[in-house]
Amino acid sequence: MKSYRKELWFETSCRRELINITPQVAVCLRESGIKDGMLLCNAMHITASVFINDDESGLHQDFEIWLEGLAPEKPYSRYHHNGYEDNADAHLKRTIMGREVVVAVTDGKLDLGPWEQIFYGEFDGKRKKRVLVKIIGG
Ligand code: ZN
């Protein structure tokens, strides 16, 4: 069995941003040489997510509005967590959007559904943060 590990780094210019990382993950899979197995991709920070959904800008606006409705960024004083930090909303957004995805690897390709794309969801950006890609198989 082969094993591959890589960290992808991101630094967004906005506090919140959704980035389609499917191309970078596909490069990892190519580098691994693994043809059949499983790929794990997870955010290494508790204020960011990795999730799978559609790369459609209207939907991305809907995510922003939905998440702001559930856990608005402001006022910062509404959260117990916000004392030295102001990112309680980002922790909550990360929790609902998820930590990781697992994708099957078949014939050396990401075995995704027709509209499935892998996203990095940043909820407290403007600093360097990491995503882990781990692939096992043969
Ligand atoms: Zn925090």
The string of pLDDT tens digits covering residues 40-98 is 999 999 999 999 999 999 999 999 999 999 999 999 999 999 999 999 999 999 999 99
**First-residue to last-residue Cα distance in the chain:** 5
How far, in Å, is the centroid of ligand 1 from the Cα of 115? 33
For residue 92, the enclosing domain spans 2-137
Phi, psi torsion values for 126, nearest 5 degrees: 65, 25
How far, in Å, is the centroid of ligand 1 from the Cα of 85? 6
Number of domains in the chain: 1
How far, in Å, is the centroid of ligand 1 from the Cα of 57? 28
How far, in Å, is the centroid of ligand 1 from the Cα of 3? 33
How far, in Å, is the centroid of ligand 1 from the Cα of 27? 32
How far, in Å, is the centroid of ligand 1 from the Cα of 20? 24
CATH number, domain at 114? 2.60.120.460
Q: How far is CA 9 from CA 40, 45, 48, 79, in A?
A: 16, 11, 12, 29
pTM of the predicted protein model = 0.97
* Secondary structure letter of residue 77 according to DSSP: G
Average pLDDT in the chain? 98
